[in-house]
Chains A and B, each alone.
Chain A
Amino acid sequence: MPDTHFYRYDDYDRTLVAERVEQFRDQVRRRLSGELTEEQFKPLRLTNGLYLQLHAYMLRIAIPYGTLSSRQLRKLADIARKYDRGYGHFTTRQNLQLNWIKLEDAPDALAALAEVDMHAMQTSGNVIRNVTADHFAGAAIDEIEDPRIWCEIVRQWSTLHPEFSFLPRKFKIAVTGSPNDRAAVRVHDIGLRLWRNEQGEVGFEVIVGGGLGRTPMIGKTLREFLPKDELLAYLEATLRVYNRYGRRDNLYKARIKILVHEIGAEMMREDVEAEYAETKDGALRLPAETIEAIARQFAPPALPHRPAVVGAVEALKLEDRDFALWLKSNVSAHRLAGYRIVTASLKPAGAPPGDASSVQMEGMADIADAYSHGEIRVSHEQNLVFPHVAVEDLPAVWRALGRLGFAEANVGKITDIIACPGLDYCALANARSIPVAQSISNHFAGLARQHDIGDLKIKISGCINACGHHHVGHIGILGVDKNGVELYQISLGGDVDFGKTALGTILGPAVAADKVVEAVDALVATYLDARGEGERFVDTYRRIGAQPFKDRVYAAV
């Protein structure tokens, strides 16, 4: 089995996770015996990843910075088979959710996770959540520095943080190390963007107060450039200001974005900087040895020279149109010319976005071992990624993915839909998301047409909490409930690309469930008629505005 090329637990990490499992075992025992009320138990189970959903408990497993070894993925498959119904759901937060867990099994499932150095800590609850990163980290051609080094440093600092375990609300941190932001850092409670200044030093732009949910906001830059070794001191200062002054009177106004909005970015900056001035030279300053020791663990695998142009690949491209399309949409540049980053689409036509069975997970682990140094990534777009695939192995990987049903050449296309679990699973949802995604996916299933339509991000949320990120979809679809009827509100023009981050604008009245496909079809037809040379859907929308789209949609539905 290949070595891992990301952070490996040592005895300290393992001990902490094991002790946490035993603590939770005792908490579950006390809940089952009635010693703990559900109200008292709730934050305890939430911070161990256990939600109470519509039909059952759901376990949300942390996949820190979206990075998995093949061994870990096999264990996830195993846990899904043993404690669930043999499948799992990869989420927009780079986590894995199991939807049918029994409370009394949860401690054993967590103990099984601990065997492969994984946990479900802080995947829920009013705490600092699992930290997310660019899913191309360590392989991307445009990367300045691997963001996962910093995610791991933040993971450790935030785990069981004694001061910040009862925050006003949940707190999400994302890190990107590339100018092309694939981690959506402007729509997180804190977004960190590594960049190199004019002196050649690498540091963080610190963005605070972004978020989606019922009050979507784009984060404000509190610090243009933060020296790397001061990261934890700055985070602690920000969290302390939030913990002290964030609103707790109203659940819907408790996120840090509301605090930033209400007091203003300027005052927020002053408060955080004042707090930070007191702490920055303290125990949180990161010693160079600590940073280096963690950075070393993320050293990329030794990638031998492989040819950048391969005759067999070129030949297959001419022979097989699906392969050629797959190369265009699912294969991205790697920092080495002889390698590519391959995105396996977890969105085959008509399937629930992000779902994988245990058999499929094991198949993915096998492909990773054979062709990608045993490494798999989870993207926030709910796909799985092989970060280091040699160009000459692309045909074999494509065929192997085809056997698993994950070779659909649709990454970034209209059927690469992000959708939350919606009313099929979720206790908060107003409307179903997955069936809507499935019908759009079926309607646009033809690959040639999808590639003609080009890059188009559809994001679907089943309620205003926006787990499907509908605000930042080129086409956003939000399920609403009007007097017991599920309706869908459509918005256009959202984007998460750095420098272009924008929230979508509502098109008009919500449409009925059975009209969503027609509405999307009308949007696409408007774009196809109006598009200029090289324009993506969202570019055309920005140029011509909402009216032509609106006219056609409401004539059709």
Chain B
Amino acid sequence: MPLFREAGIVEDPWQKLGDDAAVPADGMVLVSFTRWREARAALLARRGPVGVALANTDPVEALASDISRLDLIVLHFPKFSDGRAYSQARLLRERLGYQGELRATGGVLQDQAPFMLRCGFDAFESDQKGFGEALAKARTLFSVVYQPTEDGRAPASLLRLGRRNVRTTV
């Protein structure tokens, strides 16, 4: 499935590792949360970067102590209408301070992109026609927001007070 960032379509350099496959010594590997829990030490001992793919029922809090060692976290939308991963995304970014790539996969459609960006996603797997063009415009589709989130945009309530800096700790 094509992978998008706001700047456009990108190659996916990550290798998805099956739960039974041997851990390669280097390269960028993406593992399931189950595999991560079983093989955490071995994965962290490797030279190459590691990423984790979560189900939307997996507890993001379990990644807290390793958050700075992860370069990719993939969050899953089993259907576009199942919104659990939005909460996972905000918790990863805002509470756990995750800085790496945060990728949305599954039911990812252009009309969700403004919400996803506001929750901290920065990479998107989508096969919807026109997704890339829509994503490029999604951040500015609404020039006003009402909620403080990790995207740093000042909500209307702060702008009204003449303030622009938003501090989010959720």
Residues of A within 8 A of B (CB): 10, 12-13, 15-16, 19-20, 23, 27, 35, 40, 43-44, 126, 156-157, 159-167, 236, 240, 243-244, 248, 278-279, 281-284, 286-287, 289-290, 293
Contacts and interface: CB of A to CB of B under 8 A. Distances in A.
Contacts of B169: 278-279, 281-283
Interface of B: 80-84, 86-88, 90, 95, 109, 111-112, 114-116, 118-119, 129-130, 141-149, 156-157, 159-161, 166-170
A244 B54 CA distance: 14
Nearest to B86: A163
B165 to A, nearest CB: 10
A360 to B, nearest CB: 35
A10 B84 contact: no
Contacts of A283: 148, 166-169
A19 B141 contact: yes
Contacts of A243: 83-84, 86-87
B111 A44 contact: yes
Contacts of B90: 163
Given A40-B80, A281-B169, A161 B147 contact: yes
Given A19-B141, A35-B130, A162 B87 contact: no
Contact of A278 (B95, B112, B159): B95
B142 A163 contact: no
B114 to A, nearest CB: 7
A44 B113 CA distance: 13
Nearest to A17: B144
A308 B23 CA distance: 85
A173 to B, nearest CB: 15
27 contacts: A10-B160, A12-B160, A13-B144, A15-B143, A15-B144, A19-B143, A19-B144, A23-B142, A35-B129, A156-B156, A160-B142, A160-B146, A161-B146, A163-B86, A163-B115, A164-B83, A166-B81, A166-B112, A243-B86, A278-B95, A279-B169, A282-B169, A282-B170, A283-B166, A283-B167, A283-B169, A290-B160
Contact of A162 (B82, B88, B114): B114
A166 B83 contact: yes
Contacts of B142: 16, 19-20, 23, 160
A542 B137 CA distance: 61
A290 to B, nearest CB: 5
B161 A13 contact: no
Given A162-B116, A287-B157, 16 more contacts: A10-B160, A12-B144, A13-B144, A15-B144, A19-B143, A43-B81, A126-B83, A159-B146, A162-B147, A163-B90, A163-B119, A163-B147, A166-B86, A244-B87, A244-B88, A282-B170
A214 B163 CA distance: 46
B118 A293 contact: no
A166 B104 CA distance: 15
A429 B87 CA distance: 34
A275 to B, nearest CB: 9
A35 B111 CA distance: 12
Contacts of B112: 166
